[in-house]
Amino acid sequence: MGKTVTGAQIVWEALVAEGVDVCFGMPGGAILPVYDALAKYEYPVKHVLVTHEQGASHMADGYGRTTGRPGVCIATSGPGAINLMTGLATANMDSVPIVAITGQVPNILLGRDGFQEADILGVSLPITKHNYLVTDIKDLGQAIKEAFYIARSGRPGPVLVDVTKDVQNTVLEDFDYDAIEIDLPGYDPTMSAADAASIARAAKLLNEAERPIIISGQGTSLAKAEAELRELAEKAQIPVATSLLGIGTFPTTHPLSISWGGMHGDAHCNYAIQDCDVLLAVGARLDDRLTGAFDTFAPKAKIVHIDLDPSEVGKNLIIDTPVVGDALLTLRELIPQVESNEHPAWIDQINEWRGETAERDILSQERDDLNAPYVCQQLWHLTNEGDCTVVTDVGQHQMWEAQYFKHTKRRSLLTSGGLGTMGYALPAAIGAQFGAPDEEVWVMAGDGGFQMTMIEFKTLAEQNLPVKIALINNSFLGMVQQWQDVFYDKRYSGTPLKNPNFVQIADAYGIPGRIVTEKADVADAIREAQAYDGPYFLEFRVPAEHVYPMVPAGKSNADMIRRPTAATE
């Protein structure tokens, strides 16, 4: 015999049963019964009050990426739920498990444009993996159970459950969450290896290749196939690039690593992509930021694409050998069929390019002024060579972080790669710290994006989490300015920023901070932040400059613009 509960209680009963220890949210009229039930029945779920609902969805995202379990965010109807959408779209693009619970107006008011009503099912439909509108209490437990199941299984993603207020208030007898059976006849996330024939074709191509490379995406990490990827690469001596989200799936310090490719990837990586004869993509979407113009990507290569999601294979590129299956199980079957190999000429060629990349490197130029790449490099050194999680925002600092912080640990970079959501970093870092309380978590953000969600200083201070913040301040929307420099004749339309005194703002929330203007002070400032027991804010003042290389949007990776050398300046 089950319990007699209200709909509001069902929400918490479900969260507890799903093992949720923390959720991020903001109350409001249409979700009040749920909030009341939390206080009344003292469910063992920590509620983190956010400053703005966008923060809640990014926090759930940070938690989801760090733990691999669905992050939970809660909001009221109308504006509350709509404010979650940026975070849900971010998570949807980057395959992050989230369960969002939103209040909806009472059944009687549905469709009548009542106060704080919006069609949240409709709004969230194209930016979630799935969603539910629950208007009958009998469906509530089922919807939440399925939401968790869908969010975490297969290719993960955000699922939203919209619950009308009267469902929250209605009493249901004989409720038993454990007895609810998932009923999704159209959804089968069973993990399996790709079919044997396609794996054999992939192995044959790799065995015959003279200039092979691998591009590893986040799918490798979601499948927990990092060790298998490395085994394959080492066995056949195949250089490994990653996508931006694939950073951390292969140690950047490994001799076979060729960093990451695409618009701001390393030059030697893009040269290798453009010249390789077989390209094995593992769990990467091969999106336009990686490929450049689709028809110019890896023009000499036969492309093998391993992906769990059949809709990703052939979406952007014509794939010679589609291999649809789980990366882990597929690589396990592929490895024995791939012969040990050396490819010395190819690896020599790549190392020659690598040397040329290093010569043009910003850090090999003699510069006395403080610059963002130097900050990234120092942060890497001072975190025991990258033993921390970095959560970046979006823009130039994001690219520099990805270039100069040599990630070796799985899931040690959280970044909005697909949607490119400015304002992601601070709230996502808060969620990440809840997911990994013992981890050193760093925010790296630019002055533009950081201000979009800076209000979550309040949440950070209230929760007193030891999140450290490195703000890279060049007083510009730097990436946009870079485009204006290159494509718009240096007309800085809307990009110069008249910034506030950030350290004073942090101080107003009780968060200590420091401005760093000299290169010589960087290490000391980072150590100071690390030593502090709580959140700490560092502002690094840097000049406006460009991220190189740069592939103009819609152009081939072969057309990348390189950093001017002393000779070309």
Partner 1 sequence: MADQTMEKHTIIAWVEDKPGVLYRIAGLFSRRNFNIESLSVAQTEEPGVSRMTFVTIGTARDMRQVHTQLNKQINVLRIEDVTDNPSIDRELALLKVKAVSENRHEVVQLAELHKASVVDVTIDSLVVQIVARPDLVQSLVDNLSHFEIIEMVRTGSVSMNRSYRRKAGE
Active site residues: 53, 115-116, 165, 479
567: contact with partner 1 by CB under 8 A: no
The pair of three-digit structure tokens given for residue 234, joined into one six-digit string: 């080492």
Q: Is 21 in the site for partner 1 (CB under 8 A)?
A: no
**110 is an interface residue for partner 1 by CB under 8 A:** no
Does residue 310 interact with partner 1 by CB under 8 A?
A: yes
* Segment contacting partner 1 by CB under 8 A, of 34-42, 314-322, 366-374, 447-455: 314-322
Whether the Cβ atoms of residue 116 and residue 105 lie closer than 8 Å to each other? yes
44: three-class secondary structure by DSSP = coil
Looking at residue 36, the DSSP 8-state letter turns out to be H
Distance CA 417, CA 297 (A): 19
162 or 333, CB closer to partner 1? 162
SS3 category, 73: strand
φ/ψ of residue 184, rounded to 5: -130, 75
Indicate the residue among 14 and 150 with the shorter CB distance to partner 1: 150
129 contributes a contact to partner 1 by CB under 8 A = yes
* CB of 185 vs partner 1, minimal distance in Å: 6
Q: Whole-angstrom Cα distance, residue 155 to residue 40?
A: 37
User: Does 136 interact with partner 1 (rule: CB under 8 A)?
Assistant: no
- List the Cα angle 435/439/440 in 5-degree steps: 125
**Stretch near partner 1 under the rule CB under 8 A, chosen from 120-128, 360-368, 398-406, 514-522:** 120-128
Using CB under 8 A as the binding rule, whether residue 314 contacts partner 1 is answered as yes
DSSP 8-state symbol, 408: -
Residue closer to partner 1 by CB (options 169, 316) is 316
Question: Is residue 306 within 8 Å of 282, Cβ to Cβ?
Answer: yes
Q: Token pair of 95, please?
A: 């395959």
By CB under 8 A, is residue 185 in contact with partner 1?
A: yes
| Residue 125 or 171 with smaller CB distance to partner 1 | 125
Nearer to partner 1, 302 or 563 (CB): 302
Asked if 285 is part of the footprint of partner 1 (rule: CB under 8 A), the reply reads no
Does position 534 bind partner 1 by CB under 8 A?
no
Residue 91 backbone dihedrals phi, psi, to 5 degrees: -70, -35
Q: Which of residues 141-160 bind partner 1 (CB under 8 A)?
A: 150
> Per CB under 8 A, does 171 bind partner 1?
no
Task: Kindly report the length of the chain.
Answer: 569
The amino acid sitting at 142 is Q
Q: Which amino acid, residue 272?
A: A
Residue (94 or 275) nearer to partner 1, CB: 94
Given candidates 47, 235, 254, 315, which one binds partner 1 under the rule CB under 8 A? 315
Residue 344 within binding range of partner 1, rule CB under 8 A: no
Q: What angle do CA 19, 92, 53 make, to 5 degrees?
A: 70
Longest dimension (CA), the chain: 81
By CB under 8 A, tell whether 299 contacts partner 1.
no
Contact between 190 and partner 1 by CB under 8 A: the answer reads: no
Partnered with residue 556 across adjacent β-strands are 292
Closest distance between partner 1 and the C-beta of residue 107, in Å? 13
Residue type, 485: D
Which stretch in 24-32, 179-187, 199-207, 385-393 sits in contact with partner 1 by CB under 8 A? 179-187
Number of residues interacting with partner 1: please give it, by CB under 8 A.
Answer: 19
* Of the residues 26, 133, 236, 347, which one makes contact with partner 1 according to CB under 8 A: 133
What is the spatial distance between Cα 259 and Cα 241, in angstroms, rounded to a whole number? 5
Question: What burial class does residue 237 get, using C-beta atoms within 10 Å of its C-beta: 0-12 exposed, 13-18 middle, 19+ buried?
Answer: middle
340 lies in the site for partner 1, by CB under 8 A: no
Is 187 a binding residue for partner 1 by CB under 8 A? The answer is yes
Angle made by CA atoms 466, 102, 105, in degrees to the nearest 5: 145
Residues that bind partner 1 (CB under 8 A): 121-122, 125-126, 129-130, 133, 150, 184-187, 309-311, 313-315, 318
